[in-house]
A and B are shown apart, each in its own frame.
Chain A
């Protein structure tokens, strides 16, 4: 399979603190890929670099054939429509209702009629498991789980090929978290998405991920499926996976 995300020799430095040093990974089409590691290891930083929110200091990232090191403004705008990003706290625009949040990309980037946009919004709302009547509510009026679902619907509005999730189940109760996991699995199957996520939730890691990468000490110390993880000798892997099983 051809990788659709290639990360090569990435180096990230904050002041005197080196976060990543020659970090490599590859993500294939259709897989659910997890980024794990102790806190402060730069998982979210790597995710932010992958979605063009932050610059790296050396190496390159290549997504869907666009190399970030020499990407033009038009190309990056085009690329931004090819992915959806779900932030940790949802980051719904608080001045817009849930429906307007989901419709925003469609209104700005397409020439669809109002009626058509309403239908697409209703479909995406159903797809993520919200009620169509929730579209009129504002972000301050809905619960944390609903916010995540609404933000997911917003990320899916333009039918992206790629989905980036930053701790999708954090702050959710166990039942909602499991619901969210099965939602992610369902969406991957239904829409053929490639999903990259940062997660700490062990249940969610075992239930959803196809492959994982573990970042520790500035590099990837493990990349691959979950089956062989327990044989690894790393201190972080030992404590994280053994302690919780």
Chain B
């Protein structure tokens, strides 16, 4: 690359700027500082010499263009000396195509305006979700009438994807939860000599609350996010539009199979989580509290009523419905850019876990009041 630089010669009223070497966008800032510092003195005439410039790129020419304009505004006379054809062509090009930079036209909005639009957007979002649910139920009614329309193949595919492949992680998570809960309470129970009550405690907490909620959280993170990303990507690549034009209703082909698959498998996964959680607790009870497996199981049968098991299983389909419908809804509202997928996937996981916990709280209140 040619060595480039700027030679500044000052005579009483004349300033001559002699550029040499390459004059490209990488040099502009440096030259700008040098030139600005000399301009504090008033000159009547400025001479810009480009005869020694080997390469003038459009950015540099643009800089000269705006520099000359600035001189015009200050009524300083000036001249550009250039005899190379390329240099002159670039300067001409700039004169022809330079554009005025538009002022940022966005108005600054007041706090109240922002709050209002924020609330309004959320209300719209909520209404859109309600309309999604409405469409979903109408499709459900339709498939109940036309049972042959149900996509069994897709349902079984989804059961494999979202449930069977999730078995190891759910088993491990709930096993560890049982272990940890038992371990933490063992110490407290020992203090009171109430060792055997570990069975009551584990049975109630795992069957009623922990197993369903932990399973739901794992599924929300695993399948909820996958639903959003899959359907969102299909929307961006116009696969959803293609399906619609070919007469395949995405609700029938994509939405319903996922929801049904999750609603069927969630209770089974909760049952698995029950077993693994209790197993974890039983091991700790055996080692730490000296309760033998026989003793644990006979006490379990004695104090834990079967209704506790049903309560936990009963929650499964509801959680599954929330997770699947939020995940799919978020996928369907993905906009036409890549960032939207990430944003909606995050939202879908956060919202579905939140919805699961709210739903669980409502169930707790309802069951307590019903005396179950």
Contact = CB atoms under 8 A, between A and B. Distances in A.
Interface string B57-79: 11100110010000000000000
B336 A120 contact: no
A111 B29 contact: yes
Interface in B274-300: none
Counting chain A CB atoms within 10 Å of each CB, which of B57, B59, B337 scores highest? B59
B26 interface: yes
Interface in B27-84: 28-29, 32, 57-59, 62-63, 66
Counting chain A CB atoms within 10 Å of each CB, which of B86, B97, B336 scores highest? B97
Contact of B335 (A113, A140, A192): A140
A123 interface: yes
Interface in B317-337: 335-337
Nearest to B106: A136
B173 interface: no
A135 B66 CA distance: 20
Interface stretch (A47-55, A125-133, A177-185, A202-210): A125-133
Contacts of B369: none
A122 B59 contact: no
Contact of A122 (B86, B93, B99, B336): B99
A21 to B, nearest CB: 34
Contact of B337 (A123, A124, A136, A138): A138
Contacts of B89: 190
A238 interface: no
Interface in A103-141: 106, 109-113, 115-116, 118-127, 132-133, 135-136, 138-140
Contacts of B93: 127, 190-191
A133 B86 CA distance: 30
Interface in A50-107: 94-95, 106
A133 B25 contact: no
Contacts of B191: none
A158 B338 CA distance: 26
Contact of B98 (A110, A111, A112, A123): A123
B57 to A, nearest CB: 4
User: Nearest 5 CB-CB pairs, A to B?
Assistant: A94-B337, A122-B99, A140-B336, A159-B57, A126-B99
Given A112-B29, A116-B63, A192-B86, 18 more contacts: A95-B337, A110-B25, A110-B28, A111-B29, A112-B28, A115-B101, A118-B101, A120-B25, A120-B59, A123-B94, A123-B99, A125-B99, A126-B97, A132-B99, A132-B101, A132-B102, A136-B102, A159-B58
27 contacts: A94-B338, A94-B339, A95-B338, A106-B59, A110-B26, A111-B29, A112-B59, A116-B63, A119-B62, A120-B58, A121-B101, A122-B98, A122-B99, A122-B100, A122-B101, A122-B102, A123-B94, A123-B97, A123-B99, A126-B98, A132-B100, A140-B336, A140-B337, A158-B25, A159-B25, A190-B89, A191-B93
